[in-house]
């Protein structure tokens, strides 16, 4: 065999890698900067006086003025933004005026609640949604296809808020199968030591199986609901990707070769459909991680979505910006992850 291309020298390869690394970092930095700038300026032009959240409606005028100065709100916007960026560079995200805690402390507390919920939700959504979508595509027009279609339609059109309340009425209030709103019963509230903030992990590690079951029973309905909503989306997308693949010539070739139908569907067609599907699942997951405000409201779930929304309504900008950075990081991170998975799944995109 003759090598068609001369091998690159070690040095050139290193420079190339460095270049793409720097490029990549530059893009990420710019993304963050844009994200922060937009959030910051939207926050500042919002017709809500941030001082109001701190001092309340009753504060005498001199207190209002003093706090305005303390917050630097009388400085020009660009100066305020510059000061904020400088602080962030040193890792100081500021203090939330609503909770009196450093913003990152709040996020460390609320984010695990959301991650726990979202992860279970996406496992349910993708775990059921992909097989259902495949099935619907294979038996196009059949019973399963119709059911998936109706489920998708309901998932899109029924407000999660209503479905959540109905779920609570049925499974919690009437049947008593599951525990109610919140993450854990009051009786366990102070017996579990929070280490990671993930109650399932913490209770399991401490061997408190009663509490573990309680946490799971609190989690199952909201996670099931989020799962259902992502299932509705994922199964529809899977179906259309699969239909596309099944019409390809390689499938006909495989059939002609006499491969079993199971093998054609699951090994060949699905593997190809998997490439775009990874993005769909990753973005659904990111959407759930951002925090489903309505679900969190109905289930009194102390998560990130509720935290950011509440902060936004009170113009608590440090908290909103901190939350935005976290949500932004999730999207950037999951996009990167799906890019990596592309490379794993699609041999054409692998760098030789």
Partner 1 sequence: MKSMFIRSAAALAVATAFALPATVLAATPKDTLVVTWAIDDIITMDPAEAFEISAGEVMGNSYDRLLRYDVNDPSKLVADVATKWSVSADGKTYTFELRPGVKFASGNALSAEDVVYSLQRAVILDKTPAFILTQFGLTKDNVKDKIKQTGPLTLTMETDQSYAPTFVYNCLTANIASIVDKKLLMSKEASGDMGYGWLKTNYAGSGPMKLREWRANEVIALERNDNYYGEKSKLARVIYRHVKEAATQRLMLEKGDADIARNLQPQDLEALASNKDIKTTATPKGTVWYFSLNQKNPILAKPEVREAFKWLIDYDAIGATMIKNIGIVHQNFLPVGLLGASTDKPYKLDVDKAKALLAKAGYPNGFKITMDMRTTQPIQGMTEAFQQTAKRAGIDIEILPGDGKQTLTKYRARQHDIYIGAWGADYWDPHTNADTFARNPSNADDAKSKPLAWRNAWDIPEMTKKADAAVLERDANKRRVMYTELQAEHRRVGPFVMIGQQIETAAIRSDIQGFKIGPTSDATYMFKVTK
Binding residues for partner 1, per CB under 8 A? 46-49, 52-63, 96-101, 106, 109, 165, 168-170, 172-176, 179-182, 185-187, 189-190, 297-300, 302, 306-307, 310, 313-315
Smallest distance, Å, CB 65 to partner 1? Answer: 10
Which CB, 60 or 258, lies closer to partner 1?
Answer: 60
**Which three-class secondary structure string do you get for the chain?**
CCCCCCCCCHHHHHHHHHHHHHHHHHHHHHHHHHHHHHHHHHHHHCCCCHHHHHHCCCCCHHHHHHHHHHCCCCCCHHHHHHHHHHHHHCCCCCECCCCCCEHHHHHHHHHHHHHHHHHHHHHHHHHHHHHHHHHHHHCCCCHHHHHHHHHHHHHHHCCHHHHHHHHHHHHHHHCCCCCCCCCCCHHHHCCCCCCCCCHHHHHHHCCCHHHHHHHHHHHHHHHHHHHHHHHHHHHHHHHHHHHHHHCCHHHHHHHHHCCCHHHHHHHHHHHHHHHHHHHHHHHHHHHHHCCCHHHHHHCCCCCHHHHHHHHHHCCCHHHHHHHHHHHHHHHHHHHHHHHHHHHHHCHHHCCC
Query: Closest CB to partner 1 among 276 and 302?
Result: 302
Minimum gap (Å) between residue 311 Cβ and partner 1: 10
Nearer to partner 1, 28 or 294 (CB): 294
Q: How far is the CB of 76 from partner 1 (least distance, A)?
A: 20
User: Between 74 and 313, whose beta carbon lies closer to partner 1?
Assistant: 313
Nearer to partner 1, 148 or 306 (CB): 306
How far apart are CB 203 and partner 1 at their closest, in Å? Answer: 17
Give min distance, CB of 193 to partner 1, in A.
13
Toward partner 1, which CB reaches closer, 168 or 270? 168
């Amino acid at each position: 065999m003759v090598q068609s291309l001369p091998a690159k020298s070690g040095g050139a390869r290193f420079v190339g890698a460095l270049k793409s690394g720097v490029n990549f970092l530059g893009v990420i930095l710019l993304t963050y900067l844009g994200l922060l700038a937009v959030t910051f300026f939207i926050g500042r032009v919002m017709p809500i006086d941030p001082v109001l959240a701190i001092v309340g409606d009753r504060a005498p005028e001199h207190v209002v003025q003093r706090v305005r100065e303390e917050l630097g709100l009388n400085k020009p916007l660009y100066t305020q933004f510059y000061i904020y960026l400088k602080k962030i560079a040193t890792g100081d995200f500021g203090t939330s005026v609503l909770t009196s805690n450093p913003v990152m402390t709040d996020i460390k507390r609320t984010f695990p609640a959301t991650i726990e919920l979202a992860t279970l939700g996406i496992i349910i959504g993708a775990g059921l949604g992909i097989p259902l979508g495949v099935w619907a595509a294979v038996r196009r027009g059949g019973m399963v296809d119709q059911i998936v279609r109706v489920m998708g339609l309901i998932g899109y059109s029924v407000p999660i808020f209503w479905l959540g309340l109905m779920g609570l009425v049925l499974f919690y209030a009437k049947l008593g199968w599951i525990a109610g709103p919140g993450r854990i019963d009051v009786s366990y509230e102070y017996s579990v030591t929070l280490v990671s903030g993930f109650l399932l992990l913490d209770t399991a590690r401490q061997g408190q199986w009663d509490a573990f079951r309680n946490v799971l029973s609190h989690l199952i309905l909201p996670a099931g609901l989020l799962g259902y909503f992502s299932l509705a989306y994922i199964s529809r997308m899977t179906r259309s990707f699969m239909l596309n693949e099944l019409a390809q010539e390689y499938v006909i070739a495989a059939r002609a070769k006499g491969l079993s139908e199971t093998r054609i569907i699951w090994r060949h067609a699905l593997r190809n459909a998997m490439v775009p599907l990874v993005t769909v699942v990753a973005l659904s997951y990111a959407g759930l991680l951002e925090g489903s405000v309505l679900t969190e409201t109905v289930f009194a779930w102390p998560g990130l979505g509720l935290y950011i929304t509440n902060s936004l309504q009170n113009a608590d900008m440090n908290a909103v910006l901190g939350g935005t950075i976290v949500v932004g990081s999730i999207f950037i991170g999951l996009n990167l992850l799906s890019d990596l998975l592309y490379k794993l799944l699609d041999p054409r995109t692998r760098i030789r």
